[in-house]
Structure 1
């Protein structure tokens, strides 16, 4: 993962802060490119394994169709209400499709970790429930930009 960030270094998250943030947050906004070239943004739950963002998407969705055509994405994850509480991360790169589509639970060692992380965080379960409607996308970001306004001096 490339974590080079020139502007805003003062408010950039450290690698540990970035991992903690991505591990504890639940919802991201995923931007894809539609067939006509326009952007499409949708919200998704995700899991972070320390190097990749795992997205569990409905396969009969505009998002999925967009990604089959053009796998480039930008993802934003943020939190905070007041200015001095704002923090977040933007990840960008190309997604990969992992496992069967749709996911029905066939053995796939590559999905063991993300499915365990996702099931624990989002469902409070030890095993991932499969509904035959979703499948996995992996984003190993090529660009990461982060911010934590809590690091700024008081106004």
Structure 2
């Protein structure tokens, strides 16, 4: 990660807290830019490996078309109902495609661990079932901003 968080140091997550938070959350919101310049936000399942955010996206989607044209994204993962419980992470940078498009299960060493962890997290399986409709995107974030309002104390 090339940029460090300047504001909100009191509420930012430590690297360990960030890893734990991203491991336990299931859904992120991915923002892309459409051809006409309008923003598009969509929900996706994801996997965090400690360095990169892995996104398994339908390839026949507005999101995929946007990313093929402009790979820059912002991703938000957050939770909490009351103000004092709010926690989250925003990651931004450019995504890159990993593996074949669409993914059919061809050998790809770079995806072995990712697909096993993703299959366990979301399907309770040891192997990811490939449907020929999805492909992998990797976001190695250039900027990460986090917050954990629980660190502010009781409200």
> Shorter-chain TM-score: what band?
over 0.9
Q: TM-score, normalised by structure 2?
A: 0.98
Relative to structure 1, the CA distance from residue 3 to residue 17 in structure 2 (aligned partners, 3 Å threshold; closer, same or farther) is farther
2:127 aligned partner: 127
2:53 aligned partner: 53
Moved runs in structure 1, 4+ residues, more than 2 A?
A: none
Instruction: Quote how far apart the aligned CAs of 1:2 are.
Output: 3.2
Q: 2: distance between equivalents of 1:2 and 1:46?
A: 22
2:13 aligned partner: 13
Equivalent residues of 1:49, 1:113 under 8 A apart: no
Q: 1: distance between equivalents of 2:10 and 2:114?
A: 32
Instruction: Quote how far apart the aligned CAs of 1:153 are.
Output: 2.3
Q: State the aligned residue count.
A: 155
Match of 2:19, SS state, is helix
Instruction: Quote how far apart the aligned CAs of 1:3 are.
Output: 5.5
Q: 2: distance between equivalents of 1:2 and 1:42?
A: 25
Q: Deviations over 1:109-155 (max 9, x none)?
A: 01011111111111111111100000000000000000000000222
2:91 aligned partner: 91
RMSD, aligned α-carbons: 0.7
